[in-house]
């Protein structure tokens, strides 16, 4: 994520479809009043017009002094739902009622409805966006809106977040992941030395897709109901070289997805790995952030034109 800059623009207001129908009804009542010269009908028309007029500032001020702060965009692989987390703060002395937060897109998108936000309180908003293709994407504009109190007018503010996020390649598992010579790998792609299970136990970690079931601590699962993998102290360390030349005979997107699947598994392990693509060498390292750097580059990786 880069350049997380918030830019809250001015407030807009317009009549809704119900508001337009309501206004037409008022004109019809006043026309009938003129026709029949009935004071009671005149009074009814002016009362309804007063109601319409009063709702304008009520709708407008219901959206004022709402501050939206960006929290984060979740990591996501192509085909998965993307979540944007936002913090909505009511910086006024009045409660805010019937507030909707939505993404600004050409078609109908995700929205989050809040019945009431008390004065001087925060509200965490999670917007789920439709699956996107791999690559680097701009954060969509966010709209805060309300039709309070009668649904006759809609008032909204556009929130612009200048920043971008990565959608990683879709995960598929076509090839078996093999370590560098000198170690061996299980049928599920989990690599360890011949004496791994004789080493001293180190810690539990959450079980991740692609790990061998032999690492699962089934006793811990029976107690807690959570899949945990066992990790051991060992002098043996696996090294994986993820070279584009090993998968380039696959269809291009499948090859990219296979590399992404391997990286996702390895960055949650204790193994060293390096990624080599055309024009990119990650260097040898391990851990989550090393994998994140590789996945970000892979998400924008394109076939070289011949």
Half-sphere exposure of 210 (CA within 13 A, CB side): 21
Please tell me the total count of domains within the chain: 2
H, E, C per residue of 42-73: HHHHHHHHHHHHHHHHHHHHHHCCEEEEEEEE
Question: Residue 177 domain-assigned?
Answer: no
Half-sphere exposure of 223 (CA within 13 A, CB side): 5
Question: Residue 120 — φ and ψ, nearest 5°?
Answer: 60, 40
Look up residue 102 and give its two tokens. Answer: 């939505």
Q: What is the pLDDT of residues 103-136, one digit of tens each?
A: 875 455 678 899 999 999 999 998 888 878 899 9
Q: What is the pLDDT of residue 225?
A: 74
Assess whether 30 and 141 both reside in one domain.
yes
pTM for the predicted model, two decimal places: 0.68
Q: What is the pLDDT of residues 202-255, one digit of tens each?
A: 667 777 654 555 567 777 777 777 777 766 555 456 788 898 988 889 999 999
Question: Residue 227 domain-assigned?
Answer: yes
Look up residue 306 and give its two tokens. Answer: 């011949």
Question: Residue 179 domain-assigned?
Answer: no
Residue carrying structure tokens 């959206």: 63
The parent domain of residue 203 ranges over: 184-299
Residues 132 and 56 sit within 8 Å (Cβ to Cβ): no
**Residue where one domain finishes, among candidates 116, 139, 166:** 166
Assess whether 80 and 224 both reside in one domain.
no
Question: Residue 246 domain-assigned?
Answer: yes
């Amino acid at each position: 994520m880069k350049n997380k800059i918030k830019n809250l623009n001015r407030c807009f207001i317009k009549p809704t479809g119900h508001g337009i129908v309501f206004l037409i009804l008022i004109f019809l009542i006043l026309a009938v009043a003129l026709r029949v010269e009935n004071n009671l009908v005149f009074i009814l028309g002016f009362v309804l017009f007063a109601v319409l007029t009063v709702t304008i500032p009520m709708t407008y001020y219901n959206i004022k002094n709402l501050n939206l702060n960006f929290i984060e965009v979740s990591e996501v692989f192509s085909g998965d739902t993307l979540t944007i987390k936002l913090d909505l703060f009511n910086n006024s002395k009045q409660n805010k009622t019937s507030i909707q937060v939505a993404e600004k897109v050409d078609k109908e998108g995700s929205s989050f409805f809040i019945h009431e936000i008390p004065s001087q309180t925060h509200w965490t908003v999670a917007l789920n966006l439709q699956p996107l293709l791999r690559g680097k994407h701009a954060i969509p504009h966010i709209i805060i809106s309300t039709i309070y109190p009668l649904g006759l007018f809609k008032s909204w503010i556009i929130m612009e977040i200048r920043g971008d996020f990565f959608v990683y390649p879709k995960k598929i598992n076509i090839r078996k992941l093999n370590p560098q010579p000198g170690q061996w790998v299980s049928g599920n792609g989990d690599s360890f030395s011949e004496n791994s299970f004789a080493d001293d136990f180190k810690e539990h970690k959450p079980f991740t897709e692609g790990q061998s079931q032999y690492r699962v601590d089934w006793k811990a699962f029976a107690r807690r109901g959570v899949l945990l993998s066992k990790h051991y102290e060992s002098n043996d360390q696996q090294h994986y070289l993820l070279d584009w030349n090993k998968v380039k005979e696959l269809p291009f997107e499948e090859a990219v997805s296979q590399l992404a699947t391997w990286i996702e598994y390895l960055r949650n392990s204790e193994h060293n790995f390096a990624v080599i693509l055309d024009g990119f060498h990650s260097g040898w390292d391990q851990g989550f952030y090393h994998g994140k750097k590789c996945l970000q580059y892979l998400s924008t990786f394109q076939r070289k034109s011949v």
